Structure 1
Amino acid sequence: MKVAILGAGAIGPAAAALAASRGHAVVLWSPSGRGTAGMAGFIEAEGALAGRFPLHVAARLEEALDGATVALLAVPAYAHEALLPRLAAAIPPGLPLLIAPAAALSPLVFEVLRRSLGPRAPVGGMATTPTTARRLAPGRVRIPAIRAAVDLAALPAAAAPPLAALATALFGHDCPVAPDVLHPALANANPIIHAVLALANVTRIERAETWPQYALMTEASARLMQALEAEREALAAAWGLAVLSLAESLHRASGVPRAPLPAMGLAIDAGGRSVAGPAAMDTRYVTEDVPFGLAFYLWLAARRGVAMPRTAAVVAVLETLWGRDLRANPLLATLEGLDLAAALREGLDR
């Protein structure tokens, strides 16, 4: 297949390398152009996937989409407000789009933006990204782990099985079919794990220290993670869903045996699959995972009368530490007034 990878931070190039390693033709596009600056027709990968893999760098979005079989959007959720309208105007109606991860119901936002088109390809929402990744240089990426499985849902919901098969063909991992795109929006473990790690290590982040994030998944931080996990589980149940545990998510991401979270963190670190924690206050662990993760949970909870006091407290403390509003999520305004249950099941004006 020909796959258009939209986004060239760390995940986009890693996904490009993975798809190319499986024989697919890959086109990589950067919304700003900065992510592909210095690339010369290939991406080098190290870690769980090693080698040099061909790709084509597209200067324009329309060039990236031309002739593609499928597109993958792999940009931070805070970039969706600007990028989703641009993509909705450019993408051919028959081209399926996968969004990884499907943060804060972004597939449904994309559906709203395209509802006037009538018949069109389905939109897929993935619970997380195909790999973990760190960008090392313009043409080089480190891939600590390739995920064993990534839950996937679609709009309309009935279109999920063929999209799951498409994602498996692209990236090789299993794609368990989720009931609707709210499921992957809740299933990603990063908002809980990252927010707690940032809270517990804020002084290290502020002083730009190097610290091994999984080795510092201590008993105390794990207790807070599990408290937030319990509230997320209750929220999912209120919407008729069941999501993976944090332990299961770590197992899928890293391959270490299921165990208490501190033991899994140490196993990930000992196996050489750990990554350094953030070393700057503008980290996505807070600027993305709180507004489009924890604060999104609170938005959903208010609509079903679910109490999430610890989640609300963590958001409030992080807002104080970071000195900024972490509840503002412009995507959610697009969804006001929708019958969410019906839209998640059927899509809009199809």
Structure 2
Amino acid sequence: MRLAVLGAGAIGPATAALAVSRGHAAVLWSPSGAGTRGLDGILHAEGVLEGTFPVTVAATLEQAFAGADAALLTVPAYAFPVVLPRIAAAIPKDLPLLIAPAASLAPLAVARLRGPGAPVGAMATTPLTGRRLAPDRVRVAAIRAEAEMGALPGPAAPQMAALAEALFGNRWPTVPDALAAAFINANPIAHAALALGNVTRIEKQESWGQYGLMTPAVCRLMEALGAERDALAARFGHSPPSVAENLHRTNGVPHGPLHEMTAAIERGRGSVAGPTSMETRYVTEDVPYGLAFYLAVAAAIGQPMPVTEGTVTVLETLWGRGLRENPLLDGLDLARLPDLLSRG
């Protein structure tokens, strides 16, 4: 197949290389153009995926979509309000789109902007993890064995899971809808607790290891936030993996008390640097499109989330700004979510 990869940070180019390694063709588009600058048709990969892979660069969305059999969008959630309208205006109606990760009902936002068309895949997370080493070089840290797939409309999930498996080789167990997929990513929970517990280190730009500082106190907050998310998900009939299960899946450490699992990750992986800027995505992205998203959905159905509400309020106070604005939800009747998600 020919895959249009929309987003050229670290994950987009790495995923393009993965698709090419499996016999597909990939074209890479950067919303700003900066991500493809210096990439001259060849992408070098190292880590768990090694080799040299041909990748076409598209200057426009129209070029990216020309002849494509599928598209993958992988940009930070805070870019969605600007990028989604551009994609919805240009994407062919019959072209299936995968969004990784599908935070904050991004598939529903695309469908509302685009109108009726091909299904939108709601990936709970990205097919792999990695980082950009140079304009033409990526390091792939891990290729996920499996991750959940929802879709809009909900019944299209098996179709989108089969498409993703053909492109990337992972398994994609299906979940009922895009909301279930949005609940699965535990980053907003872990990152908010970590930022709150280490705000002075972030503000003073200290060097610190994040897993080693997921102390028992920070982990208690993570567990409380996770419990409230799980209770909200249950109101819609969903059961996302626990925070502990997410840590187990991503890092392979045995199950146990959360702070013991994070300590084991620190021992196994070494020190993984925590953020050193108040502009960290741990707060500026994961609160508006994670925790505050949960609060918006909860408010629509009368579900109390006092720990989540308090955490967002304290983070807003510490960061000196509002952290609840989410244009993806503007004009959306959240009380009608089950019907909207099922029917598209």
Report if TM-score (shorter chain) is over 0.5.
Answer: yes
- Rounded Cα–Cα distance in structure 2 between residues aligned with 1:321 and 1:337: 29
| Contact residue 144 and residue 273 of structure 1 kept, 8 A | no
Aligned to 1:139: 136
Q: Could you say if the C-alpha distance between residues 107 and 322 of structure 1 is closer, same or farther in structure 2, counting changes exceeding 3 Å?
A: same
Aligned to 1:223: 220
Aligned to 1:66: 66
| Contact residue 146 and residue 253 of structure 1 kept, 8 A | no
Q: Is the aligned partner of 1:175 residue 2:172?
A: yes
Deviation at 1:338, TM superposition (A): 7.4
Q: Is the aligned partner of 1:308 residue 2:305?
A: yes
- Matching residue within 326, 331, 339 for 2:328: 331
| Contact residue 6 and residue 29 of structure 1 kept, 8 A | yes
Q: Give the gaps of 5 or more residues in structure 2.
A: none
Q: Could you say if the C-alpha distance between residues 313 and 18 of structure 1 is closer, same or farther in structure 2, counting changes exceeding 3 Å?
A: same
Letter in structure 2 aligned against 1:56: T
| Contact residue 133 and residue 143 of structure 1 kept, 8 A | yes
- Counting only pairs closer than 5 Å after superposition, residues 237-256 of structure 1 correspond to structure 2 as 237-256=234-253
Deviation at 1:274, TM superposition (A): 6.2
Aligned to 2:158: 161
SS at match of 1:166: helix
- Matching residue within 293, 309, 315 for 1:296: 293
What whole-Å deviation, never above 9, does each CA across 1:116-138 have from its counterpart, x for those lacking one? Answer: xx4x2111111111122222222
- In the superposition, the TM-score normalised over structure 1's length comes to 0.93
Aligned to 1:13: 13
Letter in structure 1 aligned against 2:79: A
Aligned pairs, how many? 344
Deviation at 1:40, TM superposition (A): 2.1
Letter in structure 1 aligned against 2:256: A
- Rounded Cα–Cα distance in structure 1 between residues aligned with 2:327 and 2:207: 33
What whole-Å deviation, never above 9, does each CA across 1:91-139 have from its counterpart, x for those lacking one? Answer: 1111100111111111011111122xx4x21111111111222222222
Letter in structure 2 aligned against 1:132: T
Identity of aligned residues (%): 62
- Rounded Cα–Cα distance in structure 2 between residues aligned with 1:144 and 1:269: 16
- Rounded Cα–Cα distance in structure 1 between residues aligned with 2:270 and 2:8: 22
Q: Give the gaps of 5 or more residues in structure 1.
A: none
- Counting only pairs closer than 5 Å after superposition, residues 1-350 of structure 1 correspond to structure 2 as 1-115=1-115, 118=116, 120-272=117-269, 275-336=272-333, 339-347=336-344
Further displaced range: 245-254 or 319-328: 245-254
Deviation at 1:337, TM superposition (A): 7.2
SS at match of 2:225: helix
SS at match of 1:133: strand
Letter in structure 2 aligned against 1:314: T
- In the superposition, the TM-score normalised over structure 2's length comes to 0.95
Letter in structure 2 aligned against 1:72: L
Deviation at 1:260, TM superposition (A): 2.7
| Contact residue 4 and residue 29 of structure 1 kept, 8 A | yes
- Rounded Cα–Cα distance in structure 2 between residues aligned with 1:258 and 1:213: 19
Computed over aligned residues only, the root mean square deviation of the Cα atoms, in angstroms, reads 1.7
The higher relative CO (CA closer than 8 Å, separation ≥ 6) is in 1
What whole-Å deviation, never above 9, does each CA across 1:274-303 have from its counterpart, x for those lacking one? Answer: 632222111111111000000000001111
Deviation at 1:203, TM superposition (A): 1.9
- Rounded Cα–Cα distance in structure 2 between residues aligned with 1:20 and 1:269: 33
